[in-house]
Amino acid sequence: MTGFLQQLVQGLGAGAIYASLALALVLIYQFTGIVNFAQGELAMFSTYLAWQFTAAGMPFWLALALTLAVSFAGGMLIERLVIRPVEGAPELTVVIVTVGLFIFVNAAAGWIWTFLIKDFPNPFPGGALEAGGLRVSYSTLGVLVVVGLVMGLLYLLFQHTRIGLGMRAVATNPDSARLVGIRVGWTLALGWGLAATVGAVSGVLVAPLLFLEPNMMGGVLIYAFAAATLGGFDSPVGAVVGGLIVGVAETLAGAYVGFIGSDLKVGVPLVIILGVLLLRPQGLFGRAAVERA
Protein backbone atom coordinates (compact mmCIF):
# COMPACT_ATOMS: atom_id res chain seq x y z
CA MET A 1 0.00 0.00 0.00
CA THR A 2 2.81 2.39 0.89
CA GLY A 3 4.40 1.49 -2.42
CA PHE A 4 1.21 2.44 -4.21
CA LEU A 5 0.96 5.77 -2.37
CA GLN A 6 4.59 6.38 -3.19
CA GLN A 7 3.86 5.93 -6.88
CA LEU A 8 0.79 8.14 -6.53
CA VAL A 9 2.85 11.00 -5.10
CA GLN A 10 5.45 10.57 -7.78
CA GLY A 11 2.70 10.65 -10.39
CA LEU A 12 1.32 13.86 -8.94
CA GLY A 13 4.78 15.41 -9.13
CA ALA A 14 5.11 14.49 -12.80
CA GLY A 15 1.52 15.51 -13.38
CA ALA A 16 2.12 18.97 -11.95
CA ILE A 17 4.75 19.59 -14.60
CA TYR A 18 2.45 18.39 -17.38
CA ALA A 19 -0.26 20.55 -15.88
CA SER A 20 1.85 23.68 -16.11
CA LEU A 21 2.65 23.14 -19.79
CA ALA A 22 -0.98 22.19 -20.46
CA LEU A 23 -1.99 25.42 -18.72
CA ALA A 24 0.19 27.34 -21.17
CA LEU A 25 -1.44 25.54 -24.11
CA VAL A 26 -4.92 26.23 -22.78
CA LEU A 27 -4.19 29.91 -22.14
CA ILE A 28 -3.29 30.45 -25.78
CA TYR A 29 -6.14 28.29 -27.03
CA GLN A 30 -8.66 30.24 -24.98
CA PHE A 31 -7.60 33.60 -26.32
CA THR A 32 -6.76 32.80 -29.91
CA GLY A 33 -8.22 29.39 -30.71
CA ILE A 34 -4.71 28.29 -31.66
CA VAL A 35 -3.04 25.15 -30.41
CA ASN A 36 0.57 26.18 -30.11
CA PHE A 37 2.72 23.23 -31.16
CA ALA A 38 5.81 25.29 -30.35
CA GLN A 39 4.84 25.72 -26.67
CA GLY A 40 7.20 23.04 -25.46
CA GLU A 41 10.08 24.38 -27.51
CA LEU A 42 9.53 27.90 -26.19
CA ALA A 43 9.67 26.47 -22.68
CA MET A 44 12.89 24.65 -23.58
CA PHE A 45 14.39 27.88 -24.91
CA SER A 46 13.45 29.71 -21.70
CA THR A 47 15.09 26.94 -19.69
CA TYR A 48 18.30 27.42 -21.65
CA LEU A 49 18.14 31.11 -20.82
CA ALA A 50 17.84 30.25 -17.13
CA TRP A 51 20.78 27.88 -17.48
CA GLN A 52 22.80 30.60 -19.18
CA PHE A 53 22.04 33.07 -16.40
CA THR A 54 23.03 30.65 -13.64
CA ALA A 55 26.12 29.61 -15.58
CA ALA A 56 27.06 33.29 -15.64
CA GLY A 57 27.07 33.17 -11.84
CA MET A 58 23.63 34.52 -11.02
CA PRO A 59 21.83 33.03 -8.00
CA PHE A 60 19.10 30.60 -9.07
CA TRP A 61 16.02 32.54 -8.00
CA LEU A 62 17.24 35.78 -9.57
CA ALA A 63 18.01 33.91 -12.79
CA LEU A 64 14.49 32.47 -12.67
CA ALA A 65 12.87 35.87 -12.25
CA LEU A 66 14.89 37.27 -15.13
CA THR A 67 14.02 34.24 -17.29
CA LEU A 68 10.32 34.64 -16.60
CA ALA A 69 10.47 38.33 -17.50
CA VAL A 70 12.34 37.64 -20.74
CA SER A 71 9.93 34.80 -21.59
CA PHE A 72 6.96 37.08 -21.07
CA ALA A 73 8.41 39.68 -23.41
CA GLY A 74 9.43 36.97 -25.89
CA GLY A 75 5.95 35.47 -25.91
CA MET A 76 4.38 38.85 -26.62
CA LEU A 77 6.92 39.53 -29.34
CA ILE A 78 6.21 36.20 -31.02
CA GLU A 79 2.50 36.94 -31.01
CA ARG A 80 3.14 40.33 -32.60
CA LEU A 81 5.66 39.17 -35.19
CA VAL A 82 4.81 35.59 -36.07
CA ILE A 83 1.18 34.90 -35.19
CA ARG A 84 -0.50 38.21 -35.92
CA PRO A 85 -0.04 37.98 -39.72
CA VAL A 86 -1.96 34.69 -39.80
CA GLU A 87 -4.66 35.70 -37.33
CA GLY A 88 -7.99 34.56 -38.72
CA ALA A 89 -6.31 32.38 -41.36
CA PRO A 90 -7.50 28.77 -41.77
CA GLU A 91 -6.53 26.40 -38.97
CA LEU A 92 -4.20 24.51 -41.29
CA THR A 93 -2.13 27.65 -41.92
CA VAL A 94 -1.89 28.54 -38.24
CA VAL A 95 -0.89 25.02 -37.20
CA ILE A 96 1.78 24.91 -39.91
CA VAL A 97 3.16 28.25 -38.74
CA THR A 98 3.43 27.01 -35.14
CA VAL A 99 5.11 23.83 -36.42
CA GLY A 100 7.55 26.07 -38.30
CA LEU A 101 8.17 27.93 -35.07
CA PHE A 102 8.71 24.57 -33.34
CA ILE A 103 11.40 23.55 -35.85
CA PHE A 104 13.03 26.97 -35.78
CA VAL A 105 13.23 27.34 -31.99
CA ASN A 106 14.46 23.76 -31.58
CA ALA A 107 17.22 24.25 -34.14
CA ALA A 108 18.11 27.72 -32.86
CA ALA A 109 18.66 26.30 -29.36
CA GLY A 110 20.82 23.57 -30.88
CA TRP A 111 22.78 26.20 -32.79
CA ILE A 112 23.38 28.41 -29.75
CA TRP A 113 23.90 25.80 -27.05
CA THR A 114 24.77 22.65 -29.13
CA PHE A 115 22.89 19.35 -28.84
CA LEU A 116 25.03 18.07 -25.97
CA ILE A 117 23.09 17.53 -22.75
CA LYS A 118 23.63 19.94 -19.88
CA ASP A 119 23.13 19.56 -16.15
CA PHE A 120 20.50 21.89 -14.83
CA PRO A 121 20.75 22.94 -11.16
CA ASN A 122 17.93 21.63 -8.97
CA PRO A 123 16.53 24.55 -6.98
CA PHE A 124 15.17 22.29 -4.24
CA PRO A 125 17.19 20.53 -1.50
CA GLY A 126 18.05 16.90 -2.09
CA GLY A 127 16.44 15.14 0.91
CA ALA A 128 12.94 13.86 1.43
CA LEU A 129 10.09 14.39 3.84
CA GLU A 130 9.12 11.17 5.63
CA ALA A 131 5.67 10.67 7.07
CA GLY A 132 4.12 7.33 7.93
CA GLY A 133 6.57 5.33 5.84
CA LEU A 134 5.93 7.57 2.85
CA ARG A 135 8.90 9.36 1.35
CA VAL A 136 8.15 12.55 -0.52
CA SER A 137 11.24 14.15 -1.94
CA TYR A 138 11.62 17.88 -1.49
CA SER A 139 11.93 18.23 -5.22
CA THR A 140 8.48 16.68 -5.81
CA LEU A 141 7.03 18.87 -3.07
CA GLY A 142 8.73 21.89 -4.59
CA VAL A 143 7.23 21.16 -8.00
CA LEU A 144 3.75 20.82 -6.50
CA VAL A 145 4.12 24.04 -4.51
CA VAL A 146 5.40 26.04 -7.47
CA VAL A 147 2.66 24.84 -9.82
CA GLY A 148 0.06 25.54 -7.12
CA LEU A 149 1.49 29.02 -6.73
CA VAL A 150 1.36 29.68 -10.47
CA MET A 151 -2.26 28.56 -10.56
CA GLY A 152 -3.15 30.77 -7.60
CA LEU A 153 -1.52 33.80 -9.22
CA LEU A 154 -3.32 33.15 -12.49
CA TYR A 155 -6.60 32.83 -10.61
CA LEU A 156 -6.01 36.18 -8.88
CA LEU A 157 -5.05 37.77 -12.18
CA PHE A 158 -8.12 36.55 -14.03
CA GLN A 159 -10.71 37.00 -11.30
CA HIS A 160 -9.54 40.02 -9.36
CA THR A 161 -7.78 42.45 -11.67
CA ARG A 162 -8.92 44.77 -14.40
CA ILE A 163 -6.51 43.23 -16.90
CA GLY A 164 -7.84 39.77 -16.11
CA LEU A 165 -11.40 40.93 -16.63
CA GLY A 166 -10.40 42.31 -20.03
CA MET A 167 -8.71 39.04 -20.91
CA ARG A 168 -11.77 37.04 -19.97
CA ALA A 169 -13.89 39.36 -22.07
CA VAL A 170 -11.64 38.85 -25.10
CA ALA A 171 -11.70 35.07 -24.61
CA THR A 172 -15.49 35.07 -24.48
CA ASN A 173 -16.20 37.42 -27.35
CA PRO A 174 -13.46 39.45 -29.06
CA ASP A 175 -15.90 41.63 -31.03
CA SER A 176 -17.93 42.72 -28.03
CA ALA A 177 -14.73 43.24 -26.07
CA ARG A 178 -13.43 45.57 -28.76
CA LEU A 179 -16.72 47.50 -28.73
CA VAL A 180 -16.41 48.23 -25.01
CA GLY A 181 -12.93 49.62 -25.54
CA ILE A 182 -10.62 46.71 -24.75
CA ARG A 183 -7.52 46.59 -26.93
CA VAL A 184 -7.97 43.08 -28.26
CA GLY A 185 -4.64 42.89 -30.09
CA TRP A 186 -2.66 43.73 -26.99
CA THR A 187 -4.72 41.36 -24.89
CA LEU A 188 -3.89 38.52 -27.26
CA ALA A 189 -0.20 39.40 -27.03
CA LEU A 190 -0.56 39.47 -23.25
CA GLY A 191 -2.07 35.98 -23.39
CA TRP A 192 0.92 34.71 -25.37
CA GLY A 193 3.30 36.37 -22.94
CA LEU A 194 1.55 34.76 -19.96
CA ALA A 195 1.57 31.37 -21.67
CA ALA A 196 5.27 31.65 -22.43
CA THR A 197 5.92 32.50 -18.77
CA VAL A 198 3.89 29.57 -17.46
CA GLY A 199 5.60 27.32 -20.01
CA ALA A 200 8.99 28.57 -18.83
CA VAL A 201 8.10 27.52 -15.30
CA SER A 202 7.36 24.00 -16.52
CA GLY A 203 10.65 23.91 -18.43
CA VAL A 204 12.67 25.00 -15.40
CA LEU A 205 10.87 22.43 -13.24
CA VAL A 206 11.38 19.55 -15.63
CA ALA A 207 15.01 20.28 -16.56
CA PRO A 208 16.58 18.93 -13.32
CA LEU A 209 14.59 15.68 -13.72
CA LEU A 210 15.40 15.11 -17.37
CA PHE A 211 18.54 16.58 -18.87
CA LEU A 212 18.64 19.93 -20.56
CA GLU A 213 18.89 19.43 -24.32
CA PRO A 214 16.98 20.87 -27.29
CA ASN A 215 14.62 17.87 -27.58
CA MET A 216 13.85 17.84 -23.86
CA MET A 217 10.26 19.06 -24.14
CA GLY A 218 9.15 16.84 -27.03
CA GLY A 219 7.93 14.10 -24.72
CA VAL A 220 6.51 16.51 -22.14
CA LEU A 221 4.52 18.27 -24.86
CA ILE A 222 2.67 15.06 -25.71
CA TYR A 223 1.71 14.57 -22.06
CA ALA A 224 0.59 18.20 -21.91
CA PHE A 225 -1.55 17.68 -25.02
CA ALA A 226 -3.12 14.62 -23.43
CA ALA A 227 -3.75 16.67 -20.26
CA ALA A 228 -5.36 19.52 -22.19
CA THR A 229 -7.47 17.12 -24.26
CA LEU A 230 -8.59 15.29 -21.12
CA GLY A 231 -9.41 18.46 -19.19
CA GLY A 232 -10.90 20.25 -22.18
CA PHE A 233 -8.91 22.67 -24.31
CA ASP A 234 -10.90 25.67 -23.14
CA SER A 235 -10.66 25.04 -19.40
CA PRO A 236 -7.62 26.09 -17.30
CA VAL A 237 -8.93 24.10 -14.33
CA GLY A 238 -9.34 21.12 -16.66
CA ALA A 239 -5.73 21.46 -17.80
CA VAL A 240 -4.46 21.17 -14.23
CA VAL A 241 -6.76 18.30 -13.28
CA GLY A 242 -6.00 16.61 -16.60
CA GLY A 243 -2.26 17.04 -16.04
CA LEU A 244 -2.42 15.43 -12.60
CA ILE A 245 -4.52 12.53 -13.90
CA VAL A 246 -2.17 11.98 -16.85
CA GLY A 247 0.86 12.06 -14.57
CA VAL A 248 -0.63 9.56 -12.14
CA ALA A 249 -1.93 7.29 -14.93
CA GLU A 250 1.45 7.28 -16.64
CA THR A 251 3.38 6.54 -13.44
CA LEU A 252 1.01 3.78 -12.32
CA ALA A 253 0.92 2.19 -15.77
CA GLY A 254 4.71 2.22 -15.91
CA ALA A 255 5.03 0.73 -12.43
CA TYR A 256 2.26 -1.86 -12.35
CA VAL A 257 1.57 -2.95 -15.91
CA GLY A 258 4.51 -5.19 -16.70
CA PHE A 259 4.03 -5.00 -20.43
CA ILE A 260 4.20 -1.19 -20.51
CA GLY A 261 7.24 -0.72 -18.29
CA SER A 262 9.16 2.51 -18.34
CA ASP A 263 9.88 2.49 -22.08
CA LEU A 264 6.32 2.27 -23.43
CA LYS A 265 4.89 4.81 -20.96
CA VAL A 266 4.78 7.36 -23.74
CA GLY A 267 1.93 5.32 -25.23
CA VAL A 268 -0.30 6.38 -22.31
CA PRO A 269 -0.97 9.91 -23.65
CA LEU A 270 -1.81 8.46 -27.08
CA VAL A 271 -4.36 6.12 -25.51
CA ILE A 272 -5.77 8.94 -23.37
CA ILE A 273 -6.13 11.30 -26.35
CA LEU A 274 -7.81 8.63 -28.48
CA GLY A 275 -10.07 7.56 -25.61
CA VAL A 276 -11.21 11.10 -24.81
CA LEU A 277 -11.85 11.87 -28.48
CA LEU A 278 -14.03 8.77 -28.80
CA LEU A 279 -15.95 9.06 -25.54
CA ARG A 280 -16.10 12.72 -24.56
CA PRO A 281 -14.53 14.93 -27.23
CA GLN A 282 -14.93 18.16 -25.28
CA GLY A 283 -12.94 16.76 -22.34
CA LEU A 284 -13.91 16.62 -18.68
CA PHE A 285 -14.38 20.34 -18.09
CA GLY A 286 -14.70 21.69 -21.62
CA ARG A 287 -17.76 23.13 -23.22
CA ALA A 288 -19.17 21.06 -26.07
CA ALA A 289 -18.87 23.09 -29.24
CA VAL A 290 -22.11 23.59 -31.09
CA GLU A 291 -21.42 24.42 -34.69
CA ARG A 292 -23.62 26.50 -36.88
CA ALA A 293 -22.59 26.64 -40.47
From the list 99, 149, 156, 257, which residue makes contact with another protein (rule: CB under 8 A)? Answer: 99
Residue 270 in the binding site for another protein (CB under 8 A): yes
* Minimum gap (Å) between residue 155 Cβ and another protein: 27
From the list 59, 100, 127, 148, which residue makes contact with another protein (rule: CB under 8 A)? Answer: 100
Residue 82 in the binding site for another protein (CB under 8 A): yes
**CB distance 213 to 116 below 8 Å:** yes
Residue 222 in the binding site for another protein (CB under 8 A): yes
From the list 4, 115, 155, 256, which residue makes contact with another protein (rule: CB under 8 A)? Answer: 115
Residue 111 in the binding site for another protein (CB under 8 A): yes
From the list 110, 122, 168, 169, which residue makes contact with another protein (rule: CB under 8 A)? Answer: 110
Buried b (16+ CB within 10 A) or exposed e, 238-252: bbbbbbbbbbbbbbb
* Contacts to another protein from residues 33-72, by CB under 8 A: 35, 37
Contact segment (CB under 8 A) with another protein among 128-136, 159-167, 205-213, 270-278 equals 270-278
Residue 257 in the binding site for another protein (CB under 8 A): no
From the list 106, 140, 202, 251, which residue makes contact with another protein (rule: CB under 8 A)? Answer: 106
DSSP the chain: -HHHHHHHHHHHHHHHHHHHHHHHHHHHHHHHS---TTHHHHHHHHHHHHHHHHHTT--HHHHHHHHHHHHHHHHHHHIIIIIGGGTTS-HHHHHHHHHHHHHHHHHHHHHHH-SS-B----SS-S-EEEETTEEEEHHHHHHHHHHHHHHHHHHHHHHHSHHHHHHHHHHH-HHHHHHTT--HHHHHHHHHHHHHHHHHHHHHHHTTTS-B-TTHHHHHHHHHHHHHHHH-TT-HHHHHHHHHHHHHHHHHHHHH-TTTTTTSTTHHHHHHHHHHHHH-TT-SSPPPP----
Residue 90 in the binding site for another protein (CB under 8 A): yes
Contact segment (CB under 8 A) with another protein among 55-63, 132-140, 186-194, 261-269 equals 261-269
* Minimum gap (Å) between residue 225 Cβ and another protein: 5
Residue 108 in the binding site for another protein (CB under 8 A): yes
Q: Which is nearer to another protein, 18 or 136 (CB)?
A: 18
Residue ranges in contact with another protein by CB under 8 A: 35, 37, 82, 85-86, 90-93, 95-97, 99-111, 114-115, 218-219, 222, 225-226, 229, 263-264, 266-267, 269-270, 273-274, 277-278, 281, 291, 293
